[in-house]
């Protein structure tokens, strides 16, 4: 039932199962201050980590723009091309309910691709169980995704993750992931597809 209902974070948290709202899609492990200079990205992640509890009461609408990538369609065309759930996530930056994606249980060898444009995004070898209910990865394929500042929640800047090819919204990235990168790409399964290794 959940698979047909996209929701912004408050609803998602309200339906969280064994996962706490905070853990759901935010960093709960504040990272130590980076050594040397602080890059905008590190500042973004550190700030998000420190203010994670506020997420429980905040929406998840990301910075809105035209989202026009190398693969581009009109809104009407995207609606015709994508299932409703995938459209809301990819093109309107909604967040699916945690635990709703079949890809949470996808453990075969292969590649996770963009549901919008079929670009290769994440190798199965980088997938891990974050306990959040969203497919999570510690790394993306080189150049496959890009990060955009998400300032939709006052005082809680986050790093939105988009498909580089079609600019579709995939999720967010946090600095509380496992080795070797320490990053957690918290993705919406509705934004992804899976292609098993032949
Ligand atoms: Zn894409």
**Ligand 1 centroid to 119 CA: how many Å?**
6
* Residue 184, pLDDT above cutoff 70: yes
Query: Is 186 known to be catalytic?
Result: yes
Burial, 181: exposed, middle or buried (Cβ in 10 Å; 0-12, 13-18, 19+)? Answer: middle
**Cα-to-centroid distance, 179 and ligand 1 (Å):** 26
pLDDT of residue 65: 60
Annotated active-site residue in 114, 117, 166, 186: 186
- In the chain, the DSSP E strands lie at 6-7, 95-96, 110-114, 120-123, 127-128, 136-137, 145-150, 158-163, 169-174, 184-187, 192-196
| Confidence check: pLDDT of 153 > 90 | no
Residues in contact with 77: Cβ distance below 8 Å, sequence separation at least 6, in sequence order: none
The count of other CB atoms within 10 Å of the CB of residue 48 is 26
Over the stretch 130-146, which tens digit does the pLDDT of each residue have? 999 999 999 999 999 99
Higher pLDDT, 4 or 192: 192
Q: Which residues contact 93 (CB under 8 A, 6 or more apart)?
A: 60, 61, 62, 64, 160, 169
Per CATH, domain 2-196 is 3.90.245.10? no
* Ligand 1: centre distance to CA 72 (Å): 9
Helix (H) or strand (E) segment spanning residue 13: helix 9-14
Q: How far is the CA of 191 from the centre of ligand 1 (A)?
A: 8
Mean predicted confidence (pLDDT) in 147-174: 94
Whole-angstrom Cα distance, residue 81 to residue 113? 16
The gap from C-alpha 108 to its chain's centroid, in whole angstroms, comes to 21
The answer to whether the beta carbons of residues 160 and 149 sit under 8 Å apart is yes
**Looking at residues 152-169, what average pLDDT do you find?**
93
Segment 152-173 shows an average pLDDT of: 94
pLDDT digits (tens, 9 = 90+) for 67-125: 888 898 999 999 999 999 999 999 999 999 999 999 999 999 999 999 999 999 999 99
Between the CA of 160 and the centroid of ligand 1 the distance, in Å, is 14
How much is the pLDDT for 198? 79
CA of 78 relative to ligand 1 center, distance in Å: 11
User: d(Cα 100, Cα 197) in Å, to the nearest integer?
Assistant: 24
pLDDT in tens, 9-64: 333 332 232 333 333 355 433 333 333 333 444 444 444 443 433 333 333 444 44
User: Is the preceding peptide bond at 115 cis, omega within 30 degrees of 0?
Assistant: no
Predicted pLDDT at 33: 34
């Amino acid at each position: 039932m959940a698979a047909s209902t996209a929701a912004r974070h408050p609803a998602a948290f309200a339906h969280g199962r064994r996962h706490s709202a905070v853990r759901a899609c935010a960093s709960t492990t504040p990272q130590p201050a980076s050594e040397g200079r602080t890059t905008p990205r590190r500042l973004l992640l550190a700030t998000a980590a420190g203010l994670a509890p506020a997420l429980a009461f905040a929406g998840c609408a990301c910075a809105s723009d035209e989202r026009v990538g190398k693969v581009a369609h009109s809104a009407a065309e995207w609606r015709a091309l994508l299932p409703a759930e995938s459209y809301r996530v990819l093109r309107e930056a909604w967040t699916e309910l945690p635990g709703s994606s079949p890809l949470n249980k996808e453990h075969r060898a292969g590649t996770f691709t963009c549901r919008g444009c079929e670009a290769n995004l994440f190798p199965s070898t980088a997938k891990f169980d974050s306990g959040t209910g969203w497919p999570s990865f510690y790394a993306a394929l080189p150049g496959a995704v890009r990060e955009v500042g998400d300032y939709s929640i006052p005082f809680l800047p986050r790093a939105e993750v988009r498909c580089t090819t079609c600019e579709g919204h995939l999720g967010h990235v946090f600095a509380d992931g496992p080795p070797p990168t320490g990053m957690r790409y918290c993705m919406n399964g509705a934004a992804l597809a899976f292609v098993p290794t032949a």
